[in-house]
Amino acid sequence: MTTRTNSLKTTMQTSKNYEVRDPQSSIETQTLAINVGPQHPSTHGVFRMNVVLDGEVVTSLKPVMGYLHRNHEQIAENMSYAASMPYTDRLDYFNSMTNNFGWALTVEKLAAIDVPERVEYVRVIMAELTRLVNHVSAIGFLLNDLGAFFTPVLYAFREREKILDIFEEVSGSRMMCNYFRFGGLRRDVTPAVLEKIRGIVNKFPAFLDEFETLLTKNEILCMRCQNVGILPRDLAVNASITGPLLRASGVNYDIRKVDGYSVYNRFEFKVPLGPKGDVYDRYYVRILEMRESLKILDQALKGIPAGEIMAKKMLPFVKSPRNFKPPVGEAYGRVEGPKGELGFYVVSDGTAQPWRYHVRAPSFINLTILEDMCRGQKLADAIVILGSIDIVLGEVDR
């Protein structure tokens, strides 16, 4: 039991519901420093938090990351542009399609490739399907941290399986899809697959309603999630938080609307915003976002045109991707991933290998404000707040 160090001397007025008073003034109690360590049932992968507890209340929390660092950016600088496409699957291994989308978009912006209509529609469909998969599993894992013994996760996984079967049929692998190519796709989508997607999209709202009756009005869930880990608007904007976290705090910023990249500006959908920005809002904003994605999928499935799947410009490079040499210059392409703004920054010096390659990972940036949200809350809440941020360590550590 380490006695309290003097580092807590300064009186910190952070979140309003608990102020850390100067310890020496009152009778000093022993604090408990515990490692919510890399090997812990609910840290969503290899992630450590050094938590200093006063009783059950968290006074300081230092996240420790880097256990899953695979040097992704350095590897990409020694390989051709196309060769690092399968590595982007491993960034946020829950939504490989949106990662591919981001990388393909960036290189298309760099080499000024225009993409056929049918490819744009298929990309939007695949991106929205990954958003469904990610949000459903994120809610499932949040409920797991709250203690519901695996039932919500398994309901979520039942729906996720159907979508992953679609990915397997289209791209060849359930999670490591490697399906997008610069200027097009690896393989065309057959009408049978489109039929199956339409079947899933028609049945998904019924599942969502059942999921909501199980969770949204559940008193214990409301007790555990409301007014817990409140993220004020200005802190969210200053810390450049993006994704459902930001929208739960009420900031209207969705890259699909802001950039309108690919064909998103053709679809009519709304962006849900949360009133308070606590764990409950993040949960409910994700459910509303799923309903919006279903609207987009409906419209995309209706409007998908026929046509070839690879841009004319890139046909010679299909057989020999490594001698694709984009012009000198730099490009930053970003995509509204399920976890936030997923950006790829690439600098090319005209050779076949990028000179500099950097990934803006939303989970990593969303993690920076974990301590501000957790200070003053209980240990049980700190775990739930971490769950509500919905991080994937592959993306955080790259």
Partner 1 sequence: MEFMDQIFVNLKSTVLTLAGGFLPPWAVILLCAAISLGVIAVIGPVTMMYLTLIERKVLARMQNRIGPNRTGPWGLLQPLADGIKMLTKEDIVPKNADRIVHLVAPILIVIPALLVFAVIPFGKNMIPADLSVGVLYFLSISSTTTIAIFSASWASRNKYSLLGGMRAVAQMISYEIPMVLSVVPILLVTQSLSTGAIVRAQGAYGGWGWFVFTPWGFAAFITFFLCAVAECNRSPFDLPEAESEIVAGFHTEYSGMKFALFYMAEFMNAFTLSALAATLFLGGWQGPWLPSWAWFFIKTYALIFIMLWFRGTLPRFRVDQMMNLAWKFLLPLSLINILVAGFWHFANPPLAIGGSIAMLWASGWIFTRLNRDYTPEKRTYLFGE
Partner 2 sequence: MFFGSGVIKGMLVTLKAFAASYFRGPDKGGIFTVQYPEQRLAEKENFRNFPFLVYDKTPDNLRCVACDICAKECPPKCITIVREFDKDNKPLKRPAVFSIDHTVCMNCGICEEACPFDAIFMDHNFEIASTDRQGDLLLQKEALLKSNDYFNKIRPTDASAIDAKRAEAEAKKKAAEQAAAAKAAAAAAAPKLAAAAADKPAVPTEPPKTV
Partner 3 sequence: MRIAVSDASFTPPRVQGRNTRKGLTTLSMMPPLEFIIKMGIYALMTVCVAGALLSVLFRNLFHAALALTGVLLGIAGIYLALHADFLAMIQVLIYVGAVMTLVIFAIMLTERFGDASLRQFNHQSWAALGGGILLLTFLVRMIQTTPWPVKNQAALASPAVTVVQLGEALLGPYVFPFEIISVILIAALIGAIVVARKDLEA
Under the rule (CB under 8 A), what is the footprint of partner 2? 79-80, 82-84, 86-87, 151, 155, 158, 165, 168-173, 176, 178, 186-187, 210, 213-220, 222, 318-322
Instruction: Based on the shown chain and the rule CB under 8 A, indicate whether residue 40 belongs to the binding site for partner 1.
Output: yes
Radius of gyration of the chain (CA): 22
> 226 or 368, CB closer to partner 1?
226
Instruction: Based on the shown chain and the rule CB under 8 A, indicate whether residue 27 belongs to the binding site for partner 3.
Output: yes
Out of 79, 148, 235, 263, name the contact with partner 1 by CB under 8 A. Answer: 148
Out of 9, 62, 70, 158, name the contact with partner 1 by CB under 8 A. Answer: 158
Question: How far does Cα 183 stand from its chain's mean position?
Answer: 24
Looking up tokens 């008073």 gives 21
b/e sequence 285-304, b meaning 16+ C-beta within 10 Å: bbbbbbebbbebbbbbbeeb
Out of 6, 10, 13, 25, name the contact with partner 3 by CB under 8 A. Answer: 25
Taking a C-beta distance cutoff of 8 angstroms, is the pair 360, 334 a contact? yes
| Binding-residue pattern over the window 169 to 198 for partner 1, x denoting contact by CB under 8 A | ------------------------------
What is the distance in angstroms between the CA of the first residue and the CA of the last residue of the chain?
A: 35
Site stretch for partner 1 (CB under 8 A), options 59-67, 139-147, 301-309, 363-371: 139-147
> 158 or 312, CB closer to partner 1?
158
Out of 75, 112, 220, 258, name the contact with partner 1 by CB under 8 A. Answer: 220
- Angle formed by the axes of helices 117-146 and 191-215, nearest 10°: 30
Out of 145, 390, 395, 397, name the contact with partner 1 by CB under 8 A. Answer: 145
Smallest distance from partner 1 to CB 262, Å:
19
Smallest distance from partner 1 to CB 358, Å:
29
Burial class (CB in 10 A: 0-12, 13-18, 19+), 25: exposed
Instruction: Based on the shown chain and the rule CB under 8 A, indicate whether residue 83 belongs to the binding site for partner 1.
Output: no
Out of 26, 39, 71, 323, name the contact with partner 3 by CB under 8 A. Answer: 26
> 176 or 194, CB closer to partner 2?
176
202 binds, among partner 3, partner 1, partner 2, none (CB under 5 to 8 A by kind): none
Torsion of CA 377, 286, 393, 47, to 10 degrees: 10
319 binds, among partner 1, partner 2, partner 3, none (CB under 5 to 8 A by kind): partner 2
Q: Which helix (H) or strand (E) holds 144?
A: helix 117-146
Taking a C-beta distance cutoff of 8 angstroms, is the pair 255, 335 a contact? yes
25 binds, among partner 3, partner 1, partner 2, none (CB under 5 to 8 A by kind): partner 3
27 binds, among partner 3, partner 1, partner 2, none (CB under 5 to 8 A by kind): partner 3
Site stretch for partner 3 (CB under 8 A), options 21-29, 103-111, 199-207, 371-379: 21-29
Backbone angles phi, psi at 144, to 5 degrees: -65, -40
Instruction: Based on the shown chain and the rule CB under 8 A, indicate whether residue 71 belongs to the binding site for partner 3.
Output: no
Map the footprint of partner 1 across residues 253-272, applying CB under 8 A: 254, 257, 270-272
At 215, list the tokens.
């969770």
Q: State how far the Cα of 308 lies from the Cα of 20, in Å rounded to an integer.
A: 63
Taking a C-beta distance cutoff of 8 angstroms, is the pair 240, 370 a contact? no
User: How many Cβ atoms sit within 10 Å of the Cβ of residue 241?
Assistant: 27
Q: Is 330 helix (H, G, I), strand (E, B) or coil?
A: strand
Angle among Cα 190, 127, 133 to the nearest 5 degrees reads 100
Q: State how far the Cα of 118 lies from the Cα of 128, in Å rounded to an integer.
A: 16
Taking a C-beta distance cutoff of 8 angstroms, is the pair 315, 208 a contact? no
Out of 172, 191, 205, 275, name the contact with partner 1 by CB under 8 A. Answer: 275
Looking up tokens 């200070």 gives 375
54 sits in the region (left: phi over 0; alpha: psi -120 to 50; else beta) called beta
Instruction: Based on the shown chain and the rule CB under 8 A, indicate whether residue 305 belongs to the binding site for partner 1.
Output: no
Smallest distance from partner 3 to CB 27, Å:
7
Tell me which residues touch partner 1 (CB under 8 A). 32, 34, 40-42, 53, 56, 143-151, 154-155, 158, 214, 217-224, 226, 247, 252, 254, 257, 270-276, 280-281, 284-285, 288, 378-381, 383
